[in-house]
Structure 1
Amino acid sequence: MRPRLELLCAGLLLVCASLAAETRVQVVGLFPGAAVLNINGERKLVKVGQTGPGGVEVVSADSRGAVLRVDGVERSYGLSREYSEGGYSAPTRQQLSIAKGVGGHYWVAGSINGHPVQFMVDTGATSVAMNEAQARRLGLDFRVQGQPMVVSTASGTAKAWKVKADRVKVGTLELLGVESVVLEGDSPTEVLLGMSFLGRVGWREEQGVLVLESKH
């Protein structure tokens, strides 16, 4: 009986080793021609034609999904979905990865009260900030509903109004009642995604990628 028991144990060890060696792949960011991969816990931005951790190759990628070659087999992946031999499973937290863009800034598409917005992430801005024309396009009645205030800018002080945006959405992350500031004039030229949004989600920088993550 002892030889048979030893063979059984050896078989179990081989199964365990196979499971431990299984490559776990998660696509946590999508861009034209590149994808942010989380492979066995290691995160990296990999361009089409390049190979990431674990020998995973990005065959193609756009905003809708990516085709990866994992262990010699090509499969299609959506955003924030993980593949293992047990099937697909979604992460418990919503997560968004943003690669650096023009000027070394982080740019991301989103919306304010359902209106599309191209945000520039600014961790130095206290609130979501925009100029008068942008606020009008977004339907914010800041002169009537806003609270007048004076803010400090790089060029001095400026008149502004503090308002609440009903909904601010970036990727799959959406917050309600986000404090926003509308500045008089044409500055800032871009809608800034400031700390009134970022402070309510987790954020960190990893190898030139900004990662936003819901706190629950």
Structure 2
Amino acid sequence: MRSLICLLLFLPVLGVASAPEVQAILGSKVVIQYEGSRLTLAMGEQRGGVKLISIRDDRVTLEVRGEQGHYRLGERRSMSTKFTSPEPAVLRLNADRLGMYQTQGSINGAPINFLVDTGATTIALNSRDARRLGIDFRRSGKPVMLTTASKKEMGYRVMLNKVQVGNIVIYDVMAVVLDNKHFPQKALLGMSFLNRVDMTRSGNSLLLKKRW
């Protein structure tokens, strides 16, 4: 019995590992404590099995051994050491008869139809869609003057918590809401989202693949 107890004491503990602890947020960098090491990570940088995905206020998104999670400043929690490789986040779109790419998606969990627009700097919404999605753009947004194809429009710059198309999920995405109920007619999936995916055209198809 004594030898069995000694053997058990020296067996490695499996199944639980310490999670990263966010100790400081320094602009676009974070300082974390993970598995006995203190790491400073810049946006998109990976060290010690941890990659910095995004920063918003006191919330940090990290990828740890292939799995993403959200951590708040000073928060510590345990994580399972059993990790599975995530499925590739990809979406293939076929052009419509006008050569445009459209897709269903969601903003902050609410459904929305998108038109892919590489000429749009950010995601763009009309005010009616924004209200339906629960975006209080007048209170939380920053007023901006926007130049459209035909005229100048008043708008509001806002931050979207979560944007999803297919199985591609991007957090903390910049958008503008135009102070117009009808323009744009369809939500524009602009470069604030598209810059964070790889785009490959092949014939009439457009393949989107999440970069990080």
Query: Do both proteins adopt the same fold according to a TM-score greater than 0.5, normalized to the shorter chain?
Result: yes
Report TM bin, short chain. 0.5 to 0.7
Q: How does 1:13-52 map to 2 (within 5 A)?
A: none
Aligned equivalents of 1:103, 1:188: Cα separation in 2:
17
Number of aligned pairs? 127
Gaps of 5+ in 1: 1-89
Structure 1: distance between partners of 2:202 and 2:143: 38
- For 2:105 and 2:134, locate their aligned partners in 1 and report how far apart those are by CA, in whole Å: 15
Mapped partners of 2:211, 2:196: distance in 1? 8
1:204 CA displacement: 2.0
Shift of 1:91: 8.1
> Match of 2:170?
175
Q: Please tell me whether residue 189 in structure 1 is matched to residue 173 in structure 2.
A: no
| C-alpha contact (below 8 Å) 1:125/1:194 kept by paired residues | yes
Please give the alpha-carbon distance, in whole angstroms, between the structure 2 residues aligned to 1:214 and 1:137. Answer: 27
Contact kept? 1:93, 1:215, Cα under 8 Å: no
SS at match of 1:134: helix
TM-score when normalising by structure 1: 0.57
Counterpart among 197, 203, 206 of residue 207 in structure 1:
203
The structure number with the bigger radius of gyration is: 1
Secondary structure of the corresponding residue to residue 130 of structure 2: helix
Aligned residue number for residue 130 of structure 1: 125
Percent identity, aligned pairs only, is: 41
Gapped runs of 5+ residues in structure 2? 1-84
- Aligned equivalent of 1:112: 107
CA deviation after TM superposition for structure 1 residue 93, in Å: 3.0
Give the drift of 1:102: 4.7
3-state SS of the aligned residue for 1:104?
coil
What is the TM-score when the length of structure 2 is the normalising length?
A: 0.58
Q: Is residue 144 from structure 1 mapped to residue 121 from structure 2 by the alignment?
A: no
2: distance between equivalents of 1:121 and 1:93?
20
CA drift at 1:103: 2.6
* Partner Cα separation in structure 1 for residue 210 and residue 154 of structure 2: 33
When the two chains are superposed, the root-mean-square deviation of aligned CA atoms in Å is 1.4
What is the rounded CA distance, in whole Å, between the counterparts of 1:101 and 1:116 in structure 2?
21
CA separation in 2, counterparts of 1:91 and 1:206? Answer: 25
Q: 2:98 aligns to what?
A: 103
Mapped to 2, the partners of 1:144 and 1:91 lie a distance apart of 37
- Matches of 1:102 and 1:184, distance apart in 2: 30
Aligned-pair CA distance for 1:104 = 2.0
Cα deviations by residue, 1:35-90 (Å, 9 ceiling, x for unpaired):
xxxxxxxxxxxxxxxxxxxxxxxxxxxxxxxxxxxxxxxxxxxxxxxxxxxxxxx8
What is the CA distance between 1:150 and its match in structure 2?
0.4
Following superposition, the deviation at residue 95 of structure 1 comes to 1.3
Runs of 4+ in 1 over 6 A off after TM superposition: none
Higher helix fraction (1 or 2): 1
